[in-house]
Copies of this chain bind each other. A is one copy, B any other.
Amino acid sequence: MLTSTVNTSAAQVVGKPQKLLDGRDRVTGRTRFGGDIQLPGLLHIRLVLSPYAHARLERIDASRALQMPGVVAVLTADDLPPAARQPRSRAHAMLAHERVLFRGQPVAAVVAATEAQAMDAVDAVEVEYEMLDAAVDPLLAMAKGAPLVWPDGLPGESEELAAHGAAATGPAEAAPERSNIAATSHLTRGDAAQGFAEADVILERTYRTPIVYQAYVEPHVTLAEPSPLGDGLTVYTATQSVFGVRQTIAGALGIPETSIKIVPLTVGGAFGAKFAVFQPLVAAVALRLRRPVRLALTRSEDILASTPAPQSIVELKMGAKRDGRLTAMQARMIFDAGCFPGAPASIAALMLGGTYRLPHLAIETVEVLTHKPSVGAYRGPGATQSTLVLEQHMDDLAHQVGLDPIEFRLRNASDEGDPLPNGTPFPQIGLRTILQRLAEHPLWRDRGPAGSGRGVGVAVGGWLGGLEPAAAACKMDRDGSLVISVGSVDLNGTNTTMAAIAAETFGVPIEKVRVVTGDSDSAPYAGAAGGSKITYTVGLAVQRAAAEAKQQVLNIAAERLEASADDLEIVQGAVQVRGVPDRKVALKEIGEAFMRFGGVVEPVYGRGRSAQLERAPGFAGVLAEVEVDEATSETRVTRLVIAQDVGFAINPLTVEGQMHGGAAQGVGWGLYERLVYDAGGQLLTASLMDYTVPRAAQTPAMEAVIVEVPSPNGPFGARGVGEPPIIPPGAAVANAVRAATGVRVSELPVTPEALHRARQAAT
């Protein structure tokens, strides 16, 4: 096993802020996205969406639509591979079959020469529905006699959530037959009753967290083009997961994975929502028509028909002693999975019961199906919901035991060796360090008395970190520059991180490194860009690939310089004998030596492989200062400090970007965002006019505090940084509102209306 041999304090590249490799393209608007891709003879798909949450599909009459100009086909589930009619997962349910299960579910696909023609024809497709009663609220959906989402038995588990690493606890127990409960699980330690008996203070409350839309800039887009001979196809798609999408399409279409080539496109935001959703449909249409096709959703379609983060209802009871030590937790977490199973209940339970030391605990999770879109991942899936709940509860418990909220947390915070609810001990983590850093911060130290419409809140939370094997290649080019090949998608600057890792390891400036994300045929294997795992897993493979390439270069130079490779170093574009700068050979001389006819040295071409066996959990903590308008109950976040343990910040610029972006989204969870369905399952917030994403004016001034508690296995000690920053801000804001107003709003987001009602109830 190769371990980092670089003392990061002497590092030349890593640890320094590096501009994004593709930053210039992006800021000048020249980056090409799926909507910019042209294929000869490209046809366009538009979808007929169900206007009802639950209905029987009586008849689909496309005859009028088929007469319209440019229309090539109108396809229904009957025209698609069998999986569409007996779907194991949402991605397999390409078009509704016999019944529609949520408002916005695609019912038919109209294919036409232009997008406008297809759009016109959508309106001409006549669909006859028989409306059925819908199960919309998860509590009502759990009740006996509720309309069943799957009256004939549950489909298979969703693949997306599994891929995101949210299935980390023991096996889920089978749900009782013929109900909307897809799965339940129980995690216990000790004896909760005894724990509560030992407690001086007990707090019990039910919380609700909202359904949240991931609100990426670019709606879903996919193109598919059949191979000329018809036994395969190429799929161009904005996805987080090159190989995952390939596997899902293969399963849905019943064709070998090896007949599919996935070409990943630049992704205009994903946040967990862009594993595989519409790709099987687009692929099936292309193969059926033997023509290249594109599906690009509109914003409204995307909100209606994609896979939002699940709402949760959490009944939480915790006990503590006067000295601040927690004694017990009892919880029931209900996740509303929508119409297919796949809620992140396991990870939620682990973080709910694992963030603090709890001698006794009993956590039950329940996954309920409803007539709503099946849920997907959203940055920190499950952990965000748990932390929103847990950290509000902890704040009020601190209040009850009369301790400073940070001090209270420090007395209970988990550390290396403390067990998760499933018994797995934490490796080295930075949770306590973060709490200490927050405690010392002026915004906390000097926060003054609570109340008076202004308050500062605190919250912490973390993410265990995903693991997946990965490989990478590193070749040296003629001029001594490097090309790194990876199979991971560059969602948020990871390719720049890979460049930094390779540059540091090999010994060249980062400008001398290009990074190529290959297609599924040419790329080395890597998992999805999700779960905060790319830097931790692919980064290690890149480090090893670059180290191997370096060793090859040193060996070649050793022969030329008549020196031992061990005595050589790469400095300023040349290999030189350590301490004898005159004895050197330029990298470009070595490049020339093998990139030519008759060359006598082997090309410099290294490969790295990794399989991380231990997670590197990342924690973040937030201090939020709010002002609450006395008259309107509107909350404004005025300052936000986010401290995050990133292990080692390979590129502080993108790390801070992740912290800022996550924190902004976390504020959305706390104050603004919520998909609202009426009792019949109609979505009331199907546009960005109705669904409130925090914009610049709602995003506070932020301070990012990078904490570096090295992970033993990450490249240069790095941990994954993607998920943690979204996890604590919502609770920190809610706690700040509590500090400013003395009122607890247990159902998020803390809208002015909700806060107004809570204040009225409190008086």
Residues of A within 8 A of B (CB): 24-25, 28, 30-32, 36, 38-40, 162-165, 228-229, 243, 247, 256-258, 466-471, 473, 475, 477-479, 481, 483, 485, 514, 516, 518, 521-525, 527-528, 531, 552, 594-603, 605-607, 609-611, 613
Contacts and interface: CB of A to CB of B under 8 A. Distances in A.
Given A471-B603, A599-B611, 6 more contacts: A24-B229, A256-B479, A257-B477, A469-B594, A469-B603, A473-B473
A620 B606 CA distance: 39
A228 B25 contact: yes
Nearest to A528: B597
Contacts of A39: 38
Contact of A257 (B38, B479, B607): B479
Given A473-B607, A605-B609, A606-B607, A165 B481 contact: no
A594 B607 contact: no
Contact of A467 (B30, B468, B475, B597): B597
Contact of A598 (B165, B485, B601): B165
A162 B597 contact: yes
Contacts of A595: 243, 247, 469, 525
Contacts of A600: 469, 611, 613
A353 B600 CA distance: 26
A477 B257 CA distance: 9
A607 B607 contact: yes
5 contacts: A28-B229, A468-B597, A473-B473, A516-B522, A527-B597
Contacts of A603: 469-471, 524-525, 609, 611
Nearest to A526: B603
Contacts of A243: 595
A31 B228 CA distance: 7
Given A38-B40, A470-B603, A521 B483 contact: yes
Contacts of A32: 228
Given A40-B38, A521-B483, A258 B477 contact: yes
Given A24-B229, A514-B258, A602-B611, A524 B162 contact: no
A471 B611 contact: no
Closest 7 CB pairs of A and B: A30-B228, A602-B609, A471-B605, A38-B40, A469-B594, A525-B603, A471-B603
A258 B598 contact: no
B468 A596 contact: yes
Given A25-B229, A485-B522, A163 B611 contact: no
Given A40-B38, A229-B28, A478 B602 contact: no
Contacts of A24: 229
A468 to B, nearest CB: 5
A45 B598 CA distance: 36
A38 to B, nearest CB: 4
Contacts of A164: 597
Q: Is the interface of A mostly helix, strand, loop or mixed?
A: loop
A346 to B, nearest CB: 12
A475 B258 contact: no
Nearest to A611: B602
Nearest to A481: B258
Contacts of A525: 475, 594-595, 603, 605
Contacts of A514: 258, 521
Contacts of A598: 165, 466-468
A184 to B, nearest CB: 23
B165 A30 contact: no
Nearest to A32: B228
Contact of A258 (B258, B479, B594, B597): B479
Contacts of A609: 552, 602-603, 605
A120 to B, nearest CB: 24
A40 B429 CA distance: 51
Contacts of A247: 478, 595
A243 B521 CA distance: 21
Given A257-B477, A478-B247, A516-B521, A466 B597 contact: yes
Nearest to A257: B478
Contacts of A258: 477, 479, 481, 514
A164 B596 CA distance: 11
A555 to B, nearest CB: 11
A595 B473 CA distance: 17
Contacts of A516: 521-522
Contact of A597 (B163, B228, B523): B163
A223 to B, nearest CB: 13
Contact of A605 (B31, B483, B524): B524
Nearest to A39: B38
A471 B38 contact: no
Contacts of A521: 483, 514, 516
Contacts of A605: 471, 473, 524-525, 607, 609
B602 A610 contact: yes
A26 to B, nearest CB: 10
Contacts of A594: 469, 525, 611
Given A163-B597, A606-B607, A471 B477 contact: no
A401 B598 CA distance: 41
Nearest to A476: B525
A609 to B, nearest CB: 4
A596 B516 CA distance: 22
Nearest to A485: B522
